Amino acid sequence: MASIGDINKMRIPRKKDLFEEIRLHLSKQGFYIAKQELDPLWGGSVLVEEEQAEEFMREYFKKSTLTDQRLVHPVRPKFIVVAPGQAIDWQYHHRRAEWWRVVVGEVGVKINQSDEEPEIQIQKPGDFILLEAETRHRLVGLENWAIIAQVWQHIDVKNLSDDADVVRMVKQALG
Contact of 136 with 115, CB cutoff 8 Å: yes
Domain ranges of the chain: 11-168
For residue 46, list its beta bridge partners: 36, 79
What pTM was estimated for this model as a whole?
Answer: 0.88
DSSP designation for 119 = -
The CATH number of 11-168 is which of 3.40.50.150, 3.30.70.2190, 2.60.120.10, 3.30.70.580?
2.60.120.10
Angle at 88 between CA 85 and CA 94, to 5 degrees: 160
| pLDDT, tens digit (0-9, with 9 covering 90-100), for 51-101 | 999 899 989 987 565 555 666 667 899 999 999 999 999 999 999 999 999
Mean pLDDT of the chain: 87
Angle at 157 between CA 36 and CA 63, to 5 degrees: 60
Distances (CA, A) of 16 to 43, 143, 158: 10, 19, 38
| pLDDT, tens digit (0-9, with 9 covering 90-100), for 67-77 | 556 666 678 99
